[in-house]
Chains A and B, each alone.
Chain A
Amino acid sequence: MNARAMNDTRTIEEALRRGSQPAGSDRGRAARTARELSVEEAGEAATRLAARMGAEGLADVSYTTAESPFGTLLVAGTRRGLVRVAFPEEDMDSVLERLARGVSPRIVEAPAPLDPVRRELDEYFSGRRREFELDLDWTLVGRFGRRVLKVTSEIPYGGVQSYGEVAADAGSPRGSRAAGNALGSNPIPIVIPCHRVLRTGGALGGYGGGLERKRWLLELEGAIAAGR
Chain B
Amino acid sequence: MRVSISVSDELPPFQRFLDGHRGAVWRFLLSSVPRHEVEDCFQETFIAALRAYPRLRADSNLRAWVLTIAHRKALDAHRSRARRAVPVADPATFAEPSAQAPPAPDEALWDAVGDLPARQRSAVVLRYVGDLPHRDIAAAIGCSEEAARRSLHEGLMRLRKVVPA
Residues of A within 8 A of B (CB): 5, 7-9, 11-13, 15-20, 22, 27-31, 34-35, 38-39, 41-43, 45-46, 49-50, 52-53, 58-59, 63, 92-93, 96-97, 99-101, 104-109
Contacts and interface: CB of A to CB of B under 8 A. Distances in A.
Nearest to B28: A20
B109 A15 contact: yes
A45 B42 contact: yes
Contacts of A27: 106
B156 A9 contact: yes
B12 A5 contact: no
Contact of A104 (B12, B39, B54): B54
Contacts of A39: 23, 26
Contact of B14 (A20, A30, A108): A108
Contacts of B2: 92-93
B52 to A, nearest CB: 10
Contact of B4 (A93, A99, A109): A93
Contacts of B113: 16
Give the 6 A-B CB pairs with smallest separation, nearest first.
A42-B26, A30-B104, A31-B104, A16-B128, A31-B106, A107-B13
Interface residues of B, number: 50
Interface string B62-90: 00000000000000000000000000000
A27 B51 CA distance: 38
B15 A52 contact: no
Given A12-B160, A101-B10, A104-B54, A42 B23 contact: yes
Interface in B103-128: 103-107, 109-110, 113, 124, 127-128
A35 B53 CA distance: 29
Nearest to B106: A31
Contacts of A49: 18, 42-43, 46-47
Contacts, number: 140
Nearest to A28: B104
B60 interface: no
A112 to B, nearest CB: 15
B165 A34 contact: no
Given A16-B124, A49-B46, A104-B54, 16 more contacts: A12-B109, A12-B156, A15-B106, A17-B128, A19-B106, A20-B27, A20-B129, A30-B104, A38-B27, A42-B25, A45-B22, A46-B46, A58-B47, A58-B50, A96-B13, A106-B54
A107 B15 contact: yes
Nearest to B124: A16
B19 interface: yes
Contacts of B129: 19-20
Nearest to A17: B128
Contact of A105 (B11, B19, B42): B11
Contacts of B8: 97
